[in-house]
């Protein structure tokens, strides 16, 4: 997973350096799952390179790690719960975000005279999370029986036999239809008309996630404020907001981190999804922050973030809705994993009887929507294998409460807390894109 997270952070850094204003989204988990699956069909030096870069000891290790990812699909995650809960909140006038006192007395909360009102009971909604895989295999290149068993038993993948030479267009339609169905319509047209499919096989991995915030935003508190782009321009953006509430937070030399958890079912004790926001202190500090993350992979590991429950004066998060697509081969090769994509060096003799089989394309497309209720996201990884052919007595004003105002480009991740798997990773350069 570290390797795939590093691919994601490198992509963000490259895009920022190139002056792109496009929002970025990938699923390290989806890419990792697909690489594990094709690695289990590799051999010789190709297998050795997969082992080195994916941090695995062998084919069994690839499959064991993928089984952990598949375990996130247990019914508890997708099942709705009937339990209700009541929360209390203090209504805050919109004006407070611009003019409220930043330094309340130690014994008094701003607007403490406001009566606490119970929020209406709401049904807890554990995240909907699905991960589906499928292979379209040319009739002339049957899968090795052991690989076919792995794909069906470990990865729960559908295997479909087709004729690429005479039914390529129909296969393309089938792939697009399958992807659209598995991502609940969020990802459409994965394979564009100019994509040409060739034997011996192609693989697709579709991931869908929808989670409701543990603490939902009050849409009446949305604000339209400026967002500062990396090119120096500003745009008007709709922000979700709350104020004077405690959240998991940490501040470092160059950036700050905020964690917002998603709801989980009362019977679900081994799964917890959260969204992490990484915000540079400086408005144009995203590149420096990504340089730091790329130089040390461990920085992004949740166990190294040391978040505390901190009372924040205000939190602004822009509403998001965007898609992103990329051919991941160049990103993977730049990290040093090259043999699977080289027609002269690739060894997939444990996958198919075809000669000189190599990976010619890894299309990765993702979509995310973040609003007051929560997050809905999807990702697809498509792999095509080709044949060569202070005290009250001495009182002084307390320091200002920290805030988290994401009004300039930032990075984010959706993480499953127990397994530490990174489901999605991305960067917001322009919320209106």
Three-state SS string across 38-55, please?
HHCCCCHHHHHHHHHHHC
Strand bridging mode 122-123 / 84-85: antiparallel
Sheet strands (E) in 101-180 = 117-118, 122-123, 128-138, 158-162
What is the tens place of the pLDDT at every residue in 28-63? 988 888 899 899 999 999 999 999 988 888 888 888
The DSSP code for 213 is B
Mean pLDDT of 105-117: 37
Torsion over CA of 288, 254, 258 and 408, rounded to 10 degrees? -60
84 CB-contact burial (10 Å; exposed 0-12 / middle 13-18 / buried 19+) = exposed
Question: How many Å apart are CA 131 and CA 247, to the nearest integer?
Answer: 30
Percentage of the chain beyond pLDDT 90 is 39
3-state secondary structure of 139: coil
What is the tens place of the pLDDT at every residue in 367-382? 999 999 999 888 888 7
More confident call, 30 vs 397: 30
**Band of residue 77 on the pLDDT scale cut at 50, 70, 90:** very low
Given a cut of 80, whether residue 75 has pLDDT beyond it is no
Q: Tell me, what's the pLDDT at 427?
A: 96
pLDDT-wise least confident of 35-49, 113-127, 163-177, 183-197: 113-127
Handedness of CA 391, 393, 394, 400 (dihedral sign): positive
Show the tokens assigned to 256. Answer: 């700050």
Largest distance between two CA atoms of the chain: 86
What is the tens place of the pLDDT at every residue in 263-284? 987 666 678 899 999 999 999 9
Strand bridging mode 374-387 / 404-405: unpaired
Q: What is the mean pLDDT of the chain?
A: 82
Given a cut of 90, whether residue 123 has pLDDT beyond it is no
Phi and psi (nearest 5°) for 197? -90, 140
Most confident listed range (60-64, 77-81, 404-408)? 404-408
> With DSSP H G I counted as helix, E B as strand and the rest as coil, what are the percentages for the chain, rounded to 5?
25, 35, 40
Task: List, in sequence order, the alpha helices (H) in 183-324.
Answer: 286-295
pLDDT-wise least confident of 170-179, 219-228, 229-238: 170-179
Question: How many Å apart are CA 375 and CA 248, to the nearest integer?
Answer: 18
Mean pLDDT of 350-376: 86
Q: Where are the chain's structural domains?
A: 1-73+125-211+321-369, 219-318+400-428
Write the CATH number of the domain with boundaries 1-73+125-211+321-369: 3.30.497.10
Mean pLDDT of 123-134: 78
Report yes or no on whether pTM surpasses 0.95: no
- Asked if the domains at 1-73+125-211+321-369 and 219-318+400-428 fall in one CATH topology, the answer is no
Write the CATH number of the domain with boundaries 219-318+400-428: 2.30.39.10
């Amino acid at each position: 997973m570290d390797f795939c997270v590093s691919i994601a952070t490198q992509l963000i850094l490259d895009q920022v350096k190139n002056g792109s204003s496009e929002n970025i989204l990938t699923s390290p988990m989806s890419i990792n799952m697909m690489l594990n699956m094709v690695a289990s069909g590799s051999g010789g030096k190709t297998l050795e390179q997969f082992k080195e870069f994916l941090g695995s000891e062998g084919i069994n290790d690839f499959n064991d790690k993928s089984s952990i990812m598949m375990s996130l699909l247990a019914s508890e995650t997708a099942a709705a719960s009937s339990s209700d809960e009541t929360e209390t909140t203090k209504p805050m006038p919109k004006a407070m975000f611009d003019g409220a006192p930043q330094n309340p007395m130690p014994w008094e909360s701003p607007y403490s005279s406001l009566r606490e009102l119970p929020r209406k009971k709401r049904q807890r909604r554990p995240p909907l999370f699905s991960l589906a895989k499928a292979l379209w295999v040319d009739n002339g290149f049957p899968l090795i029986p052991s690989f076919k068993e792995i794909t069906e038993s470990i990865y729960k993948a559908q295997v479909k036999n087709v004729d690429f030479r005479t039914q390529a267009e129909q296969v393309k339609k089938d792939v697009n239809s399958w992807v659209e169905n598995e991502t609940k319509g969020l990802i459409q047209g994965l394979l564009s008309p100019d994509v040409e499919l060739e034997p011996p096989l192609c693989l697709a991995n579709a991931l869908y996630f929808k989670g409701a915030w543990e603490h939902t935003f009050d849409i009446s508190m949305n604000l339209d404020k400026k967002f500062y782009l990396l090119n120096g321009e500003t745009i008007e953006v709709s922000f979700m907001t709350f104020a004077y509430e405690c959240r998991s937070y940490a501040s470092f030399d160059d950036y700050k981190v905020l964690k917002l958890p998603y709801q989980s079912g009362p019977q679900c004790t081994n799964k917890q999804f959260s969204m992490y926001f990484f915000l540079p202190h400086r408005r144009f500090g995203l590149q420096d922050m990504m340089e730091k993350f790329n130089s040390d992979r461990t920085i992004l590991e949740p166990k190294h973030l040391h978040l505390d429950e901190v009372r924040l004066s205000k939190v602004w998060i822009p509403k998001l809705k965007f898609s992103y697509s990329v051919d991941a081969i160049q990103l993977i090769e730049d990290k040093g994993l090259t043999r699977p994509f080289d027609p002269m060096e690739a060894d997939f003799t444990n996958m198919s009887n075809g000669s000189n089989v190599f990976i010619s394309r890894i299309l990765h497309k993702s979509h995310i929507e973040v609003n007051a209720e929560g997050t809905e996201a999807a990702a697809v990884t498509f792999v095509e294998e080709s044949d060569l052919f202070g005290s009250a007595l001495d009182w002084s004003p307390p320091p200002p409460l920290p805030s988290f105002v994401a009004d300039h480009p930032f990075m984010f991740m959706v993480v499953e807390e127990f397994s530490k798997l990174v489901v999605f990773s991305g960067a917001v350069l322009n919320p209106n894109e």
